[in-house]
Homo-oligomer: A and B are copies of this chain.
Amino acid sequence: MSALDILSFLNSGEWVSGEEMAKRLAISRAAVWKQIQVLRQRGYEVSASTGKGYKLVKKPDLLDADRISCCLQTKWLGRDMRISDEVGSTNAVALSLARDCPNGTVVLAETQKEGRGRLSRPWASPPGGIWMSLILKPKMPLNLIYQINMAASVALCRVFSSLFGLDAGIKWPNDLLIRELKICGILMEVGAQVDRLDYAVVGLGLNANNNLSGFPAEWRTTSLAAQLGHDIDRCELICRILEEIEVAYENMGSKDIYEEWRSRSLTLNRQVRITSAAGDLVGQAVDLAEDGALLLRTGDKLKRVLAGDCIHLRPMQAEAL
């Protein structure tokens, strides 16, 4: 018996008598009271009234390993979960664990002090967001790892749509946008030998309930709370994300995933500027290949770009070029 058993009665949001819970759980009323205290300590607001019993007024916006593992319907993803209040970056923690932990281990933190994006750029990670890294160990050659990124992107779009009715798109190569604003970034880092992947760490930075006031305007970010007008249940969202990623992962490399990834692209048919080690390229994104490469038309040439920073140019800017 744990506080979660009590919570399952209170989740309705109605008054529930202490006597009834005690009877159904075969414990004393004092034991019920004790577990109510545990819930309150975890940030649940529970009203108590003589005669009526208990009522859940507000759930805390905290990552709760018990709640997540209770509601999680995956076979293996997230079955080993490490939650911290604060870390340097969840990717760094995951990378340090990756070699010796099972496939599907998940690292979560309320905040990151040194969250990082691509090219070691800083990534703001205040409380209320979802800063999560997944350790995945598919048996695959190194040249197929783009498939992991593709599957994760598609899975996240599916969750935003099914859970919130939000239409998210994919800005190549690894950002998710809602109404042209960044809602989520994906940073995959891998450990490998010449011929095969040892592990991939898929880091997700998702603006959920976190305040965006500290984010510079030029980052063009949004959050789920800002889009929906109310906070969301992060624990539930984490479960749905892990479930969808597990499904997409097991379908990795399929035509389905590729086609959905391509059809959800916000970069396709846009004028873009790609910045990479090889320099800047400006052109029209005319296609996305099955291996994740962007096909760029610059003048009368067609170029394949495997990765890089991508800026969507507005039509106005594009004409000015």
- The number of residues on chain A lying at the interface, defined by a beta carbon within 8 Å of a beta carbon of chain B, is 31
User: Quick check: B95 and A308 within 8 Å, CB to CB?
Assistant: no
Q: Is A195 an interface residue (CB 8 A)?
A: yes
Contacting residues, chain B, for A237 (C-beta < 8 A): none
Known: A139-B277, A141-B306, A277-B139. A190 touches B192 (CB 8 A): yes
Question: B143–A277 contact, CB under 8 A?
Answer: no
Q: Digit string of A177-210 for contact with B (CB within 8 Å is 1, else 0)?
A: 0000000000111111111101000000000000
Q: Give the CA-CA distance A149 to B192 in the complex, in Å.
A: 13
Q: Does A292 reach chain B (CB closer than 8 Å)?
A: yes
SS class, residues of chain A in contact with chain B: mixed
Closest to A148 in B: B194
Q: Quick check: A191 and B190 within 8 Å, CB to CB?
A: yes
Interface: A15 (CB within 8 A): no
* Residue pair A193, B118 in contact (C-beta under 8 Å): yes
Map CB proximity to B onto A9-33 as digits: 1 under 8 Å, 0 otherwise: 0000000000000000000000000
Q: Taking the complex as formed, is A41 at the interface, i.e. its CB lies under 8 A from any CB of chain B? A: no
Is A160 in the interface zone, CB < 8 Å from B? Answer: no
Contact of A145 among B118, B139, B187, B194 (CB under 8 A): B194
Which residue in B187, B190, B194 is a CB contact (below 8 Å) of A173? Answer: B194
A194 to B151, CA, bound (A): 14
Least Cβ distance of A306 to chain B in Å?
A: 5
Among candidates B139, B190, B193, B194, residue contacting A292 with C-beta atoms closer than 8 Å: B194
Q: With the chains together, A193 CA to B99 CA distance in Å?
A: 17
Shortest CB-to-CB span from A202 to chain B, Å, is: 11
Cα A104 to Cα B142 with chains together (Å): 24
Task: Identify which of residues 251-276 in chain A touch chain B, using a CB-to-CB cut-off of 8 Å.
Answer: 276
User: Which 5 A-B residue pairs are closest in the complex by CB-CB distance?
Assistant: A195-B307, A190-B192, A195-B306, A194-B307, A146-B194
